[in-house]
Every structure is written in structure tokens, then in C-alpha cells.
Structure 1
């Protein structure tokens, strides 16, 4: 089914992407959900990052775990997230019928992601609007870098060119996805943590279940965001992905 790069088309393609790469999505959610849930359960993840904090009794783990363990968990979490995200994105690209043609692109993906994150952060510093514009115009960069035809900066440039004229549609579809994920997260976590408040900070089976649910919810949100980015790429890029590489 051919879709246009409008709001309904992007949303429909995102849903189709999640279904086409369903096995990879489930694996991604389970692996990251279990890891993040375990980190919150043992007090290794920061509650400020919305990854919960828990503790056992005084004879075992406490919420204030050593900074070394927290730092190690943070590094392991980041490494796992990057690797798992790359694998998931490659599976989504294959599901579009446009897999990578020039070998592994892991380090290019990492470099592009870091550069994009810095650019978006700088944009948000300047009164938010520039950050939103950059976020929208670079939304297809994951697809471009994974094709192997563009480098780190070239994929961002190709995305900027390809999304020209589609900015409002991408923003509208992204807003719908963001609101949907926010509502889902609020409802699921609200129910999961409903009975935890009176626990006095000590470990309980209910708190353990809530931390696990929160980890899965966060991982699912990430998977949807990646599906959205590949959906945008698939709809705005020509089949040969030969959009001009304006930075290379």
C-alpha cells in the first residue's frame, strides 16, 4: 500500500513498521525492559531519570548504592541501549525492503546519533522552536545513515533535504505519537505504582512489579520512536535513497 508523507500516512507506516519488525520489537522491549527494571529494583538507576528507585532491607541493598556501581550500571545501560537500538533499526530497515547494502554501519550510526543529539540540544537552548525544527528535519537520518550511502554528516544533510515540504506533517504525526506514548505511560505507571506509596521505601513484590513495568514501558516508547523515524525515511526518501548529500 502506497502512502503519502502526510500525518495519516506517517502514522500508518509507523504502525506497519512495528508489525513488520514485530519479533525484533518484542526482543528489544523485553531485553531493555528487564535490564532497566533490574537496575531500578536494585537502586542502580536514578529515580530522576524515571527509572525508579527501590531497596531491600538494611541487611541487603539500599537505595544509596555506591557511586561506582551506579556509574557502571549507567555505562552498561548506555552500551546496551545503543547496540540494541542499532539492531532494531537494521531489522526495521530490512522490513521496508531497503536493507543496508554497504556492510555494517554501527559506528556511523553512533556518530550521527551523537551529532544529532548535540544539534537538537543546542536548538532547544535557542527558544525551543529551532530544536523542534531540527528534530523534525533530521527525523529521517537513521534511515539514511543505515543505507550505507551517506556518512555521519551526510545522513543529516540528506534527511534535511528529503523532509523539505513535509515538516508540518512530520511534526503533526510526531505530536500524535508523543501524546499517545505520554498517555500510555501515565496510565500504565499510574496503575502500577498506585499501591506502592505506603511501602515506606522498602522492597515489596508490588514495587518490583512496578519497576519492571516501567522498564518495559520506556523500552516500548523507544521502539515506537525508532519505527517512526524509519517510517518517515521510507516515505520521504526515493527508493534509491539518492537524495543529494549536501554536507559531503
Structure 2
């Protein structure tokens, strides 16, 4: 787990401008939509924008690290990436709701699927299967990484969420409410960006190393 965090910190440092732009940009979008759009359509629109922005952030981080196949264009693989993200998110969420550990295990075993789609152009189910193979034997360090991230989400976002909910229920929606909401969005999207760096770190540690070893012994 320490290797993932160490590698991820280095990756985050090299891509800090892109990470900051994503976190601040998405926070501004979220805040603007909360003013202009009703809750349900606003949430759907924000999720769509976040999905596209998250894909390009992921692509940019991998490009910065030199982990993309030379033939990969900026727009390649978005639909496959979106499908993989949906499958892994739903499966992980169900696992977390039913029992925390299965959800974390699924997240760990399929953690590389999106990166394989972006970097290598893998098809959806091929990427899921390859991720499952590559993470065999490394499941628990990756589970530890995701568990630590989930704890960070809880510690940072729970107090802010409670304050926003209480002020909303009491109709005490003043400037402080919107400031807290914006800070919460920055923290949430910032952590999401850092998770992307962690996944790229896992990709570099497992996939890139696996491919280099295969070329040496070919």
C-alpha cells in the first residue's frame, strides 16, 4: 500500500495543475447548477459533465506519465471508459452497501479496467478480465488504499455535509451555506482527482511493469 501512495503522490505532484483545474472547475459547475437547475436534472447534468471531465483528467494524467499507447488519441475510448466506470461503480456500491469488504475487493480487482481502456484501447469486458488477472496477488494493498480513501472522504465530507443539510432543513441558507457547499465540492472533486492518481499509480506499478517484463523475456 505504501508503494501506491508514494507513487500516487509523485504523480499528483507532476499533474497538480490539471488536478486543481478539475477540482475547482467542477466545483464551480456544481455550484452554478445548484443555483440554476432543479435538484434532479441538476444532479444528472453534473454527473454527465463530471464523467467527461474525469475522463479527460485521467487521460491527461496518464499522458503526463508516459503511460499511453502511442496510437491513443485524446477522444479515444470514452464510451468504453464510461461503461467500465458505470459497471465498477454499481458493483462496488452494491458490495459496500451489502457488506463493506466485498465492495472494496471488487473495486480493487477491477481498479485497472478504466486505465486499460484509456491507455491500451481495451474493450469493456476484456479490460475487466485483464484487471482481474493483473491485480491477483496484490488485492489487499489495493483494498487498503481504497479503504484509506473512503476514510478520508468520511472525515473531510461528513461534517460539511451535516452542516449543509442542517442549514437547508432550517431554511437558513445564507452565504455561509454556499461557502460550505463550495468547499465540500472542492474537497470531493479533489479527492476524486487524487483517486485517479492512485489508480494511475497502480497501473504504473502493475501493468507497465508487467509489459516491460514481458518484452524482456519475449
Distance 1:89 1:134 in 2: 20
User: Contact 2:92 / 2:104 at 8 angstroms: preserved in 1?
Assistant: yes
CA shift digits 1:96-142 (9 cap, x unpaired): 21124333111111111122223334545664443222111111222
Aligned to 2:31: 37
- In the other structure, the counterpart of 1:209 is 179
SS in 1 for 2:208: coil
Change (3 A) 1:209 1:230: same
Aligned pair count? 210
Q: Normalising by structure 1, report the TM-score.
A: 0.73
Q: Give 1 or 2 for the bigger CA radius of gyration.
A: 1
Q: Which residue of 2 aligns with 1:169?
A: 141
Distance 1:199 1:157 in 2: 46
- Deviation at residue 93 of structure 1 after TM alignment: 0.6
Q: What is the distance in 1 between the residues matched to 2:43 and 2:149?
A: 27
Question: Corresponding residue for 1:91?
Answer: 60
CA contact (8 A) 1:108 1:152 kept: yes
Structure 1: gaps of 5 or more residues? 1-6, 45-68
Tell me by how many angstroms 1:39 deviates: 3.6
Normalising to structure 2: TM-score of the pair?
0.82
Distance between the aligned counterparts of 2:213 and 2:49, measured in 1?
32
C-alpha distance in 2 between matches for 1:132 and 1:86: 22
Q: How does 1:21-170 map to 2 (within 5 A)?
A: 21-40=15-34, 42=35, 44=37, 69-100=38-69, 101-103=71-73, 104-124=76-96, 127-170=99-142
Bigger helix fraction = 2
Q: 1:216 to 1:11 in 2, by over 3 A?
A: same
Tell me how large the CA RMSD over aligned residues is.
Answer: 2.9
- 2:110–2:131 contact (8 Å) kept in structure 1: yes
- CA gap of 1:242–1:105, structure 2 versus 1, over 3 A, is farther
CA–CA distance in 2 between the matches of 1:236 and 1:73?
38
Distance 1:27 1:125 in 2: 32
Q: Are the aligned partners of 1:82 and 1:110 in contact in 2 as well (CA < 8 Å)? A: yes
Q: Does 1:183 align with 2:162?
A: no
Paired position in structure 2 for 1:4: none
Tell me how far apart the structure 2 counterparts of residues 102 and 73 of structure 1 sit (CA, whole Å): 32
2 CA distance for matches of 1:125 and 1:71? 22
Q: Is the 8 A contact 1:37 1:214 kept in 2?
A: no
Aligned pair partner of 1:230 in 187, 195, 200: 200
Q: Measure how far apart 1:239 and its partner are.
A: 4.6
